Amino acid sequence: MENYNNKKNTFQLFSFSAFQIRIKNAFQLNRLAAFQLNKGFTLIELLITIGIIAVVSTVGFLNLFGYRGMQELDLTAQEITIILRNAQDRSISQESSSRYGIHFENSVSSGGFYDLFSGATYAAGTIISKNSLRPTIQFSDPTSGNSKDIIFAPISGFPNASTTITISLKRDASVLKNIIINTNGQIQY
């Protein structure tokens, strides 16, 4: 009988172990099925990701907008400097036996413009070329409603006076460029 009880206990241990293995396998299958069902993202995860993308895009766009304004300001300063040097070169070479100058006007109604002209004074009949400022750029000096003339002397190319032309962004007048014309004829920005 003792032998029978030992066999019975062995069988019970064996059946209990098989039962545990079945439960363990079923539990692992349930975990695997639950993991497979939860493969996607939650709504909160998606909203956080969209929010981060929106913030980064906004910062990037604003920086790009500021960069573009600075590029336009630099380009306008270069264009004005080129026109000034053109007038100076024409005066030095005495093209058409005349002196040349630039008229800067900060008109209240039509915006800023600058004209290349020939002769000792600016007049409508002496204009060689007319240039307008870009829509995003304004003159700070000359001030609104005023004008400045820079006339270069023949042969020497010296200006009639040392002066500064200041341009700035319309949306932020603190962002500006100074174009300096020295009495010795040096033009820099």
pLDDT in tens, 109-146: 888 999 999 999 999 999 999 999 999 999 999 999 99
CA angle 115, 117, 120 (to 5 degrees): 130
pLDDT of residue 13: 47
| Position with higher pLDDT, 189 vs 40 | 189
The β-bridge partners of 178 are 166
Q: What are phi and psi of 115, to 5 degrees?
A: -120, 140
The β-bridge partners of 117 are 101, 127
Q: Is this prediction's pTM over 0.75?
A: no
Which is it for strands 100-107 and 111-118: parallel, antiparallel or unpaired?
antiparallel
Taking Cα atoms as reference points, which of 91, 84, 101 lies closest to residue 149? 101
**Residue 36: Cβ within 10 Å count:** 8
| Position with higher pLDDT, 5 vs 92 | 92
Instruction: Please provide the DSSP assignment of 125-161 as one string.
Output: GGEEEEEE--TTEEEEESPTT-EEEEEEPTTT--BSS
Average pLDDT value for the chain: 86
**Residue 25 vs residues 29, 32, 144, 168: alpha-carbon distances, Å:** 6, 10, 85, 75
